[in-house]
């Protein structure tokens, strides 16, 4: 029988609006005010080189600059999401679009975004003459291109692997295309989208930092933000300002993680398809606050009431069922497809011919060979980086991953490290290189490692955490220790995770080479021999043929190493070393 007296906590009278509502309303107002205040800076008059926004090193301005950079990041994110839906949907739904757009996507994500800055910056400034908006757009475009590709891939992949029953259910219940998209396709791809969005967003800070202060075609442009603050600090050799910018950046990443990504990740958990709940469910205090507040529910009720009042307008598209679609696919129209293929082929050929023509008229043949050599040098740096990060971080990652308590603590920390734009640390590293007398040929490897190593660590932890307990128990029971244990169990088990981490790290390193092979502190500039420095140099002086040459070679290196090396390792990981 029950003899326990329950505390009558639930019986306490509750005011219609709780503390959480007050907090949320206050937060909402702050956010709106902030956006209005910061956003107005986007339309400031701008007539280079006479009228340029000034960046002041006064630390009191740091919150404003941080807000400007943050706003850019979120606009870039929204653009990426919209693009992802459109592009991913088109690829998944149209056979022909898929044929062209997927390989294109594959190339685009291998292309070093920073290589095109000279084109985009001059282009956008010409589009919006007399306003800072042009420069803002160029920066947004760089952030967007840095974020969007893997989100699009993730969405496309979710769409084509949509569980068959869901697809059939949507057909049976005669969902319209819009309804199917909103209630089936987006929810089914939500988790992948959120995770990829979070990872790309972290990578986006790097591009913000680069594009806020940039020299193209011998002209320097600045956008107020954390990145330009750092650039100015470097120019004026102001160590104190540099340090406060780094601290601000860390605080900013933590705040956005807590206020935005944690809640979104925790919320997205409800879209998980497999019943097996993740070992550690993501939780967020912000989401709890939102859920405990009555405000969203009140607003929701009002919205529904409002919706019921407006008459429903339905646009009827001719219905095409899935069945018909499939039937159509089975009957290929040879002529059209061939025509389509030839057309695309001609466009590609023309583009290549144009590129070759531009390069060959301006650049002597031996320079082409030299650029290839520079590519090899940068390639060697990337290899050094992968080897170093793997040797150092894999054992540490495994040790962390095998200890669940430590892993829960370490994983979010590593994510924050990975989000931190490494180029904020470049000036500090540069000072050390100058003091020690280390040339940038070796030093740039260190710079690349600063940014890319975290992906290897993060994936090593995740891989070790995913090793089933019974396999570890079996190894203990069979008394495997030391090297045999690593050889037979640990290395094969974390191999897929390592491949993922290494691919991400090497992709990041190629992009980073453009900013890490030329660095400066005050009036001192260090330079390394490499294709990154070559592109950076050509961008600064606005030498179009050399930009095309450098970027093309870098693309060839990236695509070739992906195709010949990483893709094969990935296939091996998927077939041979997949657990469960």
| Residues of this chain that bind other proteins (CB under 8 A) | 1-4, 6, 8-11, 14, 270, 291, 468, 470-471, 473-474, 476-481, 484, 488-489, 492, 576-579
> Is 57 buried (19+), middle (13-18) or exposed (0-12) by CB count in 10 A?
middle
In whole angstroms, the minimum distance from the beta carbon of 275 to other proteins comes to 13
The residue among 300 and 345 lying less far from other proteins, judged by its C-beta, is 300
The residue among 95 and 578 lying less far from other proteins, judged by its C-beta, is 578
In whole angstroms, the minimum distance from the beta carbon of 483 to other proteins comes to 10
The residue among 361 and 477 lying less far from other proteins, judged by its C-beta, is 477
In whole angstroms, the minimum distance from the beta carbon of 266 to other proteins comes to 12
In whole angstroms, the minimum distance from the beta carbon of 376 to other proteins comes to 33
Query: Which tokens sit at 127?
Result: 């589009």
The residue among 287 and 358 lying less far from other proteins, judged by its C-beta, is 287
- CA 80, CA 73: separation in Å to the nearest integer? 10
- CA 282, CA 412: separation in Å to the nearest integer? 11
The residue among 335 and 477 lying less far from other proteins, judged by its C-beta, is 477
Contacts of 144 (CB under 8 A, 6+ apart): 76, 79, 80, 83
Query: Which tokens sit at 541?
Result: 């002086």
In whole angstroms, the minimum distance from the beta carbon of 114 to other proteins comes to 39
The residue among 13 and 437 lying less far from other proteins, judged by its C-beta, is 13
In whole angstroms, the minimum distance from the beta carbon of 416 to other proteins comes to 24
Contacts of 441 (CB under 8 A, 6+ apart): 377, 528, 529, 530
Q: How many CB atoms lie within 10 A of CB 177?
A: 14
In whole angstroms, the minimum distance from the beta carbon of 14 to other proteins comes to 7
- CA 285, CA 292: separation in Å to the nearest integer? 10
In whole angstroms, the minimum distance from the beta carbon of 94 to other proteins comes to 36
Which sign, positive or negative, has the C-alpha torsion 425, 430, 433, 435?
negative
The residue among 239 and 478 lying less far from other proteins, judged by its C-beta, is 478
The residue among 488 and 567 lying less far from other proteins, judged by its C-beta, is 488
The residue among 168 and 574 lying less far from other proteins, judged by its C-beta, is 574
Measured CA distances, 495 to 462, 483, 579 (Å): 11, 16, 10
> Is 53 buried (19+), middle (13-18) or exposed (0-12) by CB count in 10 A?
middle
Contacts of 530 (CB under 8 A, 6+ apart): 374, 377, 378, 381, 441, 444, 513, 517
User: Residue 158: which of 111, 213, 92 has the closest Cα?
Assistant: 92
In whole angstroms, the minimum distance from the beta carbon of 402 to other proteins comes to 14
């Amino acid at each position: 029988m029950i003899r326990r007296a329950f505390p009558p906590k639930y019986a306490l009278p509750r005011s219609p609006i709780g503390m959480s509502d007050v907090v949320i309303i206050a937060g909402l107002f702050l956010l709106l005010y902030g956006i209005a205040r910061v956003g107005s800076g986007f339309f400031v008059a701008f007539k280079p080189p006479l009228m340029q926004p000034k960046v002041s090193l006064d630390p009191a301005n740091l919150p404003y600059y941080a807000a400007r950079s943050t706003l850019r990041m979120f606009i870039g994110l929204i653009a990426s999401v919209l693009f992802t839906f459109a592009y991913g949907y088109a690829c998944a739904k149209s056979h022909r679009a898929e044929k062209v757009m997927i390989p294109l996507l594959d190339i685009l994500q291998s292309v070093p975004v920073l290589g095109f800055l000279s084109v985009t910056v001059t282009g956008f400034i010409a589009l919006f003459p007399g306003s800072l908006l042009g420069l803002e757009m160029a920066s947004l475009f760089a952030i967007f291109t840095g974020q969007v590709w893997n989100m699009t891939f993730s969405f496309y992949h979710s769409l084509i692997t949509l569980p068959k029953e869901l697809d059939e259910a949507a057909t049976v219940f005669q969902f319209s295309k819009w309804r199917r998209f909103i209630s089936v396709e987006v929810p089914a791809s939500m988790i992948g989208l959120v995770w990829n969005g979070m990872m790309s967003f972290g990578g986006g800070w790097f591009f913000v930092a680069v594009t806020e202060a940039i020299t193209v075609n011998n002209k320097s442009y600045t956008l107020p933000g954390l990145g330009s603050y750092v650039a100015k600090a470097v120019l004026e050799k102001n160590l104190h300002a540099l340090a406060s910018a780094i601290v601000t950046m860390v605080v900013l990443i933590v705040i956005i993680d807590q206020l935005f990504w944690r809640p979104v990740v925790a919320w997205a958990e409800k879209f998980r398809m497999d019943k097996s709940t993740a070992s550690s469910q993501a939780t967020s205090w912000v989401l709890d606050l939102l859920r405990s507040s009555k405000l969203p529910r009140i607003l929701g009720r009002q919205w529904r009431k409002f919706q019921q009042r407006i008459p429903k307008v339905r646009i009827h598209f001719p219905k095409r069922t899935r069945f018909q679609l499939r039937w159509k696919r089975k009957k290929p129209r040879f002529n059209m497809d061939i025509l389509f293929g030839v057309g695309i082929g001609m466009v590609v050929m023309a583009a290549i011919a144009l590129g070759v023509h531009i390069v060959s008229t301006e650049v002597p043949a031996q320079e082409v060979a030299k650029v290839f050599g520079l590519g090899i040098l940068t390639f060697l740096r990337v290899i050094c980086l992968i080897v170093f990060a793997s040797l150092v971080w894999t054992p540490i990652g495994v040790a962390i991953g095998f200890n669940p308590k430590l892993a829960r603590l370490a994983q979010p920390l590593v994510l924050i490290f990975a989000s931190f734009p490494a180029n904020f640390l470049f000036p500090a590293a540069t000072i050390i290189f100058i003091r020690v007398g280390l040339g940038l040929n070796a030093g740039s490897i260190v710079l690349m490692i600063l940014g890319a190593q975290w992906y290897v660590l993060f994936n090593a932890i995740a891989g070790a955490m995913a090793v089933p307990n019974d396999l570890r128990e079996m190894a203990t029971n069979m008394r495997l220790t030391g090297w045999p244990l690593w050889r037979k169990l640990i290395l094969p088990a974390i191999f897929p995770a390592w491949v993922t981490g290494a691919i991400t790290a090497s992709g990041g390193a190629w992009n980073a080479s453009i900013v890490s092979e030329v660095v400066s502190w005050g009036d001192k500039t260090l330079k390394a021999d490499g294709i990154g420095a070559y592109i950076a140099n050509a961008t600064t002086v606005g030498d179009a043929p050399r930009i095309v040459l450098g970027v093309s070679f870098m693309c060839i290196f990236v695509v070739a190493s992906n195709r010949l090396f990483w893709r094969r390792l990935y296939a091996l990981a998927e077939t041979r070393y997949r657990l469960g």
